[in-house]
Amino acid sequence: MNDFLNKSILKLKNKNIPNPELDLKLLLQEASFSKKEIILSNLKIEDINLKYLDKLISKRLSRKPISKIIKKKYFWKSAFYVNSYVLDPRPETELIIEEVLYNIKDKNQKLKILDVGTGSACIAISLANEFKNSKITAIDISKNAIEVAKKNVKLHNLSNQITIKRLKLADLRQKFDIIISNPPYINQKEYNKLQPEIKKFEPRVALFGGKDGLRFYRLFAKEIEKKMKKKSIFICEIGHKQLSSCKKIFSNSNLILKKISKDINKIDRTLTFFKI
Ligand SMILES: C[S@@+](CC[C@H](N)C(=O)[O-])C[C@H]1O[C@@H](n2cnc3c(N)ncnc32)[C@H](O)[C@@H]1O
């Protein structure tokens, strides 16, 4: 088995796949006949569906991300179904959940929450699990992403708490206590330089935020206030080096920037706003 493992790792290494050992372990897990967690040092060849494993390795050699191969990605406290129509949930986006928890101390409150650009619904579902009495509306423009979001809501048994709608922000007529969004914010230059794992296998509609990457912040500065009550909060994720542009955009709105939070890499990552 060792020989087989080494050969597979070498194949991945030769294609410059980062973390080949970890990737192989995840693919072996997917191709394992048993549901038990595999231990490499203890692995028996008869426990693995080798034909299937070979297919999985070929997909990884084409730079398809592991998450898109095994159709699963972890976020906050749960696993989510993902495919090529949704962005893979990112660890830095968990900061949005932390910021909501920081602002809302009483988890039993009956909150009305809006998630703009829900994708896999990872934020909506994580918030629904944290705030069990809340009702969440999650919107997205992508028909295919909406299907993934609905599937995840069903898988997590949260249909009574979360409503998924294919809608543009401007067409929404309700008001909410909390509004959150991780919008597309990659600009044209960054988009052109994205690594193949992202550019080839993640949807452009989830990444591209217009020529300067700021299209959605301009939309938020105009629209979000209309969906907020007096004491509502709005939390959004921003991209690397977008803080000063975002400050400028929102300075012309009826929103007051209350908090800027950094992610674990010390990058300004979320903005929290109140209404004037
Ligand atoms: C960066 S992804 C975020 C996905 C998910 N919320 C997350 O954090 O992993 C942005 C999402 O916004 C959606 N989107 C793009 N343009 C939109 C629009 N005009 N209105 C609503 N959603 C939009 C995309 O389809 C995508 O699912």
For residue 41, what pLDDT is reported?
83
Parallel/antiparallel/unpaired status of strands 162-166 and 135-140: parallel
As a whole number, mean pLDDT of residues 26-48 equals 89
* Residue 122 one-letter amino acid: C
Nearest alpha carbon, ligand 1 atom 13? 117
Residue 192 has pLDDT above 80, yes or no: yes
Phi first, then psi: give them for residue 34, nearest 5 degrees. Answer: -100, 155
- For residue 223, what are its two tokens? 């629209």
**CATH architecture of the domain with range 73-275:** 3-Layer(aba) Sandwich (3.40)
Q: For residue 185, give the DSSP letter.
A: -
pLDDT digits (tens, 9 = 90+) for 144-157: 999 999 999 999 99
Band the pLDDT of 4: cuts 50, 70, 90: confident
Q: What is the pLDDT of residues 146-186, one digit of tens each?
A: 999 999 999 999 999 999 999 999 999 999 999 999 999 99
Amino acid 194: pLDDT: 96
Pocket perturbation via mutation, ligand 1, pick of 85, 140, 216 by most ligand atoms within 8 A of CB: 140
- Largest Cα span, the chain: 65
Q: For residue 186, what pLDDT is reported?
A: 98
- Give 78's strand partners: 75
Q: Of the ranges 34-48, 149-163, 199-213, which one carries the lowest mean pLDDT score? A: 34-48
* E-assigned strand segments in 52-148: 72-75, 78-81, 112-116, 135-140
Going by DSSP bridges, is the β-strand pair 112-116/78-81 parallel, antiparallel, or unpaired? unpaired
Q: pLDDT of 105-126, one tens digit each?
A: 999 999 999 999 999 999 999 9
- Name the percent of the chain lying above pLDDT 70: 100
Q: Which of 42-46, 90-94, 134-138, 266-270 has the lowest mean pLDDT?
A: 42-46
SS3 for 216? helix
Looking at the DSSP bridge assignments, the partners of residue 262 are 268
pLDDT at 267: 97
| Whether pLDDT at 44 is above 90 | no
Question: For ligand 1, is residue 213 a contact (CB within 6 Å)?
Answer: no
Q: How confident is the model at residue 34 (pLDDT cuts 50, 70, 90)?
A: confident
Q: Is the CB of 243 under 6 A from ligand 1?
A: no
Residue with CA at minimum distance from ligand 1 atom 4: 119
pLDDT of residue 137: 98
pLDDT at 276 over 90: no
Q: Where do the CATH 3.40.50.150 domains begin and end in the chain? A: 73-275
2 pLDDT band, cuts 50/70/90, is confident
Q: Report the pLDDT value the prediction gives residue 36, as an integer from 0 to 100.
A: 86
Q: What is the pLDDT of residues 57-100, one digit of tens each?
A: 999 999 999 999 999 999 999 999 999 999 999 999 999 999 99
Sorted by sequence, the CB contacts under 8 Å of residue 258 that are 6+ apart come out as: 233, 272, 273, 274
Output the CA 174–ligand 1 centroid distance in Å: 19
Reference 30, options 59, 6, 7; nearest CA is 59
Q: Which two tokens stand for residue 172?
A: 């929404």
Instruction: Identify the pLDDT of residue 45.
Output: 87
User: Is residue 215 classed exposed, middle or buried when 0-12, 13-18 and 19+ CB atoms within 10 A define those classes?
Assistant: middle
Average pLDDT score over residue span 192-215: 96
- Contact by Cβ (8 Å): 237, 96: yes
> Which pair of tokens denotes residue 174?
């309700």
- Determine if the pTM surpasses 0.75: yes
pLDDT band at 3 (very low <50, low <70, confident <90, very high): confident
Q: Residues near 242 by Cβ (< 8 Å), separated by ≥ 6? A: 185, 213, 214, 217, 268
Ligand 1 centroid to residue 102 C-alpha, Å: 24
How far is the C-alpha of 254 from the C-alpha of 143, rounded, in Å? Answer: 31
